[in-house]
Amino acid sequence: GRSSKDISSTSHNCDVPHVNRTDYQLIDISEDGFVSLLTDNGNTKDDLRLPTDESLLAQIKDGFGEGKDLVVSVMSSMGEEQICALKDIGPK
């Protein structure tokens, strides 16, 4: 969620992380803080925790509690994944 700048000479190489963003439909939220997500091929992804950002966390819990269909955006980089955004696609 933040930008970084690095200044180096043109003759040096620098490593840049590759970041992917994927959208998944939210199916369920477990009591231990994990979410169940529906992938594009119809499988479920059950290894992500709810985000630590209080505002986003409240939006997800409130929308799910109201029975809305929610799509979460997951950013992945360097072997880590995190929910970073939420889209409301309407009531169930």
pLDDT in tens, 33-85: 899 999 999 999 999 999 989 999 999 999 998 989 999 999 999 899 999 99
* HEC secondary structure over the chain: CCCCCCCCCCCCCCCCCCCEEEEEEEEEECCCCEEEEECCCCCEEEEEECCCCHHHHHHHHHHHHCCEEEEEEEEEECCEEEEEEEEEEEEC
- Taken in order of first residue, the domains within the chain and their CATH numbers are 20-88 (2.40.50.140)
Q: What is the pTM of this model?
A: 0.78
